[in-house]
Structure 1
Amino acid sequence: MAYLLNDPADFADESAAGFVAAHRAAVRRVRGGVARAAATSPGQVAVVIGGGSGHYPAFAGLVGPGIAHGAAMGNVFASPSAHQVHAVAKAVATDAGVLLSYGNYAGDALNFDQAQEQLRAEGVPCQTVRVTDDISSAAPDEAHKRRGVAGDLAVFKVAGWAAEQGRSLDEVAALAGRANDRTRSIGVAFSGCTLPGAAEPLFTVPAGQMAVGMGIHGEPGIAMVDLPSSAEIARMMVGRLLEERPEDTDQARVGVIVNGLGAVKSEELFVLYGTVAAELEAAGIEIVDPEVGEYATSFEMAGLSLTLIWLDDELEQAWCAPARTPAYRKGAMESSAQSAAADEVAADDTAEPVIVAAGPEAAAAGALAATAIAAIRAVVDREADELGRLDAIAGDGDHGIGMQRGARAADAAAAQAAAAHAGIGTVLALAGDAWADKAGGTSGALWGMALRAVGKRLGDSTAPDPRAVAGAVAHARDRVQDFGKAQVGDKTLVDALVPFTDTLAARVDGGAGLAEAWTDAAAAATSAAAATSDLVPKMGRARPHVQKSLGTPDPGAVSLALAMTAVAAVLVAQRDIREEKEN
């Protein structure tokens, strides 16, 4: 658990501020994360990595010559928002372009893909390499669905070396992709971790047992076994990884990473590595420049992972190349000709958005939208623990916390906009941006996208009628499905969003007022959310654990239904007040 904290909601931001203060010569704070203190050399591809906080030294600790140019930093165990990724990339980009690389989690993919889309629209060349090294998270024939764990380091380092060599964006992406294709990891856990401010750990492992395949966010493993000896653990891990030796290599050289997840310290890791080395050598495999330490942690989780990257001549050169970052140093880096001070490079764009007051009717609609967002916050605060419990059954248990962070940030942004007499479009757009930035993760990305989409469609010129609202909600549903790729039946929030949208449109088309139509649509969403108990997940972190998920509703669908029901109460109250005045 975290012993050193103030307000848990501020933990990630305060940790980032302290990290930068401790490493001023190496990194600078930029909007959304950190970047090298020196500007990117002209003509050099910028490597931008990122992910949730709570995994140090991933990701901020790997920013520096030889690895990354910048890192987008999300909240605790939550992906950075698209705005954060975009801001970090813009702070370090040159005309050579940007390579985005990150662990393959649904929230990261949504947000980094949105950022890539925006960068390309602005004329910044951009490519992506997702890290998919964890063999426990999907079968070999679905390797593209695997998540990234400590293998991130291998891929990031190869990408950083290629960029330092002056390679083109296509070449950097190709080499990083080859590194990912040749990297395999497996992890085990002996106990869970507790998020800052939480009273209970995200998960527990029974005494005397070990979870095999546990994810770094607490995702359930693929098996629970009696705790073996260190030698038995090492032999099991090496054996599993050798079974997945890449087919396209006849080389017998590997880079090795033994990674501690937080509570298993160096001496124990060395005990394990001794057997790992013996097993690999017995298999006729040459070990090249092994790494033993902490590279991708999970707060105080007791666990470790083993990573192998199968090397060819070029990958070996990249693997062994010098690097100098706050948390990772190898060899001696040549002095860079580019030594710009932090105040000489791209400035941090932290200016508050300018809010333009709307006309009386539009401002009244904006105030109503802010009230609706406040109602969502209230219900999320009330149900956060239950949402977390539902998520922990087959996921990582942080859905309630993420929704709480997002709803609170959206409430504050909406209230500020409404106080400045903004129209409904601005209120919802700013609420969406705040939600995405603070919540992170898949749900943060989707809620932020949905609120922005509704706001953009409604605009600030007038108070929208029910048909305009239904059309804006349908537009938001389309955006969510286009980016998230989920369909009805995949056991996601889409299972509640689609019937909500369809019912709202049908009731409005039938002549119902907005309060009545929204209430019926919320009821449809609630029924649909409950029905997800009978579904198995086809997307997201719960996908590998279908049997655990059966009988439990999807937390994303449940939270959406709760939120829409809360908004319905606001609309009914506003209708009743209006009718009372008219009478």
Structure 2
Amino acid sequence: MTYLFNQPSAFASELIEGFVAANADKVRQVSGGVVRSTRSQPGTVAVVIGGGSGHYPAFAGLVGQGLAHGAAMGNLFASPSAQQIYNVARAAENGAGVLLTFGNYAGDVLHFGQACERLKAEGIPCEIVTVTDDISSARPEEIEKRRGVAGDLTVFKVASAAAEAGLSLDEVTAMARQANARTRSLGVAFSGCTLPGAEQPLFEVAKGTMALGMGIHGEPGISDTEVPRADALAELFVERLLQELPPGVTEAKGQRCAVILNGLGSVKYEELFVVYRRIAQLLQEHGIEAVEPDVGEFVTSFNMAGASLTLMWLDADLETYWRAPCNTPAYRKGSVIKAEPLSAAEREVVVQEDIPPASDAAKRSARCVLALLETVAQTINDNAQELGRIDAVAGDGDHGIGMARGANGAVEKAREVARRDAGAGTLLCRAADAWADKAGGTSGALWGVALNALGTALGDELAPDAERVALGVTHAREGIMHFGKAKPGDKTMVDVLVPFSDTLNQQVAQGASLVDAWLAAAAVAQQSAQDTAQLLPKMGRARPLAEKSLGTPDAGAISLALIVEAVGKLLQSNQGGAA
């Protein structure tokens, strides 16, 4: 369990505040995360890493000289929003572009991708490298689907050292991709992690057993086995990793490897050293030389009991950058020349938010949109526990919590901009950004995309009508399918959104009012959500445990159906008011 916290909802923000206070000589806080508080070499690439909180030392603890220039930090186990990532990247940028690198999780891919597009649109060169080191999360022929675990560190370290050496953005990106291509990891868990305020862990491991192939967000393993002795665990790690040599490595003998034995939160360092004793013996027996091995906690899963082994198969360049000096709050190598601290003025980051002008009709419509968002938030809050239960069947159980954070954040932002006389379009777009920011994760990103599409369609000039709303829903559907890559049949919210959009547009095209069209589409959405129970997931964290979800509907599909139903009821009770 988690012993020390104030309000669970404030845990992530308070931990960042305390971390910065303890490490002000190396990092400073910006909106969305942390960046270096020391001066970086002008004209060099900035490496920005990130993901959800709860993985310390990843991600904030890896910011500093010789390693990352900034870290975007979301809520516990939730991706940072595109806005957070953008803020961190802008604060870290040194004049030669930005490399965004992170573990391969759907929410992170969406949000970092959106931030990358925004940076490029503003003339800042930007590239992305996702870390895909976990061999348990997909077969070798689907390596692009693998998630990033402790191999994050090898990729971050190589990329950052290359940037520190003055390489161009293309060269830094190539080195990061090379590091990722030659990194493999495997992990196990002996117990789940329990987040602040939660009464139960995100998943359970039966007493005396071990989950093989766990993920760092509390995802269950892909199989269970008896807990072995330390030597047997070392042998399992090494045997499995040596079964899959990366491209360019034809045999293990004679190779040099960066080695990371990583604790996931509750396994003691002394236990890790017992395991590493046997790992070192096995590597030597196979003719592999461990180069500057690391044993400890580097990418954790809050307070999960577990461990993972990572091997990065080195070439000359990778070894140079792996061994290069660095100095961060949580990770140090060699000796660096102390960097000059930034001045007080340079540490200040000013963010201004202007509200564009709107017509009186759009301002009146904004109040209606606010009422709809309040209804959405209430609906999600009322159903958060059940959504979490459904999500826990084959996922990590945080869908209800994340949706509640997003919806409540959207309402808070909508109320703020409504007081500043925003139009309906601006109100919905700002609420969309807040939803993605507060919720994090895949659903946060997708709901941000959806609400932005609706807000853009509504605009700040005219009162919404049925045609404009239907068009906005169509754009939301297109955006979600583009960014999320899901299609009907994948057991996601798309299985509800597509029939809802089709029905809404058909009804509007036939002359139905917005209220009638929406109610008809909402009824289709309800049935479509229930129908997902018979599908097997092909996307996201539930995919490795697909069979467990058969018979249970998708949590994202259910939450979408609940929302459109609640909106329809409010529209019906205020006939004509929102249309």
Q: Is TM (by shorter chain) over 0.5?
A: yes
Larger displacement relative to structure 2 (356-365 or 490-499): 356-365
Matches within 5 A, 1:472-551: 472-551=472-551
State the alpha-carbon separation in 2 of the partners of residues 314 and 356 from structure 1: 50
State the alpha-carbon separation in 2 of the partners of residues 207 and 175 from structure 1: 43
The equivalent position to 1:273 in structure 2, one of 251, 276, 294, is: 276
State the alpha-carbon separation in 2 of the partners of residues 436 and 576 from structure 1: 30
Q: In structure 2, what residue type is equivalent to 1:218?
A: G
Give 1:363 deviation, angstroms: 1.9
Contact persistence 2:27–2:36 (CA under 8 A): yes
Name the SS of the counterpart of 2:175 in structure 1: helix
Contact persistence 1:29–1:348 (CA under 8 A): no
CA displacement 1:242-286 (0-9 Å, x = unmatched): 001113125511111011111101000101111111111111111
Q: Which residue of 2 aligns with 1:18?
A: 18
Q: Which residue of 2 aligns with 1:560?
A: 560
Larger displacement relative to structure 2 (125-134 or 194-203): 194-203
Contact persistence 2:357–2:460 (CA under 8 A): no
Matches within 5 A, 1:68-467: 68-250=68-250, 252-336=255-339, 338-345=340-347, 347-351=348-352, 353-355=353-355, 358-467=358-467
Runs of 4+ in 1 over 4 A off after TM superposition: 576-579
Q: In structure 1, what residue type is equivalent to 2:31?
A: R
Q: In structure 2, what residue type is equivalent to 1:43?
A: G
Contact persistence 1:135–1:184 (CA under 8 A): yes
Q: Which residue of 2 aligns with 1:62?
A: 62
Contact persistence 2:393–2:548 (CA under 8 A): yes
State the alpha-carbon separation in 2 of the partners of residues 479 and 299 from structure 1: 33
Name the SS of the counterpart of 1:135 in structure 2: coil
Q: In structure 2, what residue type is equivalent to 1:265?
A: K
Please tell me the root mean square deviation across aligned C-alpha atoms, in Å.
1.5
State the alpha-carbon separation in 2 of the partners of residues 359 and 97 from structure 1: 39
Contact persistence 1:37–1:342 (CA under 8 A): no
Contact persistence 2:326–2:332 (CA under 8 A): yes
Give 1:402 deviation, angstroms: 0.7
Q: In structure 2, what residue type is equivalent to 1:348?
A: V
Name the SS of the counterpart of 2:233 in structure 1: helix
Give 1:342 deviation, angstroms: 4.8
Q: In structure 2, what residue type is equivalent to 1:463?
A: A
State the alpha-carbon separation in 2 of the partners of residues 578 and 334 from structure 1: 62
Q: In structure 2, what residue type is equivalent to 1:296?
A: V
Contact persistence 2:181–2:247 (CA under 8 A): no
State the alpha-carbon separation in 2 of the partners of residues 556 and 474 from structure 1: 18
CA displacement 1:343-391 (0-9 Å, x = unmatched): 325x42444x333564443222111111111111111111111111111
CA displacement 1:397-448 (0-9 Å, x = unmatched): 1111110110110011112223333221011011101101111111101101
CA displacement 1:39-63 (0-9 Å, x = unmatched): 3321110000000001111000000
Q: In structure 2, what residue type is equivalent to 1:464?
A: P
State the alpha-carbon separation in 2 of the partners of residues 39 and 247 from structure 1: 38
Q: In structure 1, what residue type is equivalent to 2:349?
A: D
Contact persistence 2:464–2:578 (CA under 8 A): no
Name the SS of the counterpart of 1:141 in structure 2: helix
Q: Which residue of 2 aligns with 1:38?
A: 38
State the alpha-carbon separation in 1 of the partners of residues 412 and 578 from structure 2: 26
Contact persistence 2:571–2:577 (CA under 8 A): no
Larger displacement relative to structure 2 (140-149 or 386-395): 386-395
State the alpha-carbon separation in 2 of the partners of residues 137 and 329 from structure 1: 30
State the alpha-carbon separation in 2 of the partners of residues 506 and 59 from structure 1: 47
Larger displacement relative to structure 2 (356-365 or 451-460): 356-365
State the alpha-carbon separation in 2 of the partners of residues 522 and 364 from structure 1: 25
Unaligned runs of 5+ in 2: none
Aligned length in residues: 576
Give 1:85 deviation, angstroms: 0.9
CA displacement 1:90-119 (0-9 Å, x = unmatched): 111122111110000000001111111111
State the alpha-carbon separation in 1 of the partners of residues 162 and 123 from structure 2: 22
State the alpha-carbon separation in 2 of the partners of residues 559 and 180 from structure 1: 36
Q: In structure 2, what residue type is equivalent to 1:451?
A: L
State the alpha-carbon separation in 1 of the partners of residues 371 and 39 from structure 2: 44
Contact persistence 2:231–2:275 (CA under 8 A): yes
Matched-pair identity in %: 58
Name the SS of the counterpart of 1:334 in structure 2: coil
State the alpha-carbon separation in 1 of the partners of residues 6 and 114 from structure 2: 33
Distance 1:64 1:511, change over 3 A: same
Q: In structure 2, what residue type is equivalent to 1:281?
A: Q
Name the SS of the counterpart of 2:14 in structure 1: helix
TM-score (norm 2): 0.97
State the alpha-carbon separation in 2 of the partners of residues 545 and 231 from structure 1: 29
Larger displacement relative to structure 2 (72-81 or 543-552): 543-552
Q: In structure 2, what residue type is equivalent to 1:341?
A: S
Unaligned runs of 5+ in 1: none
State the alpha-carbon separation in 2 of the partners of residues 238 and 39 from structure 1: 41
Name the SS of the counterpart of 1:39 in structure 2: coil
State the alpha-carbon separation in 2 of the partners of residues 96 and 427 from structure 1: 35
Give 1:556 deviation, angstroms: 0.8
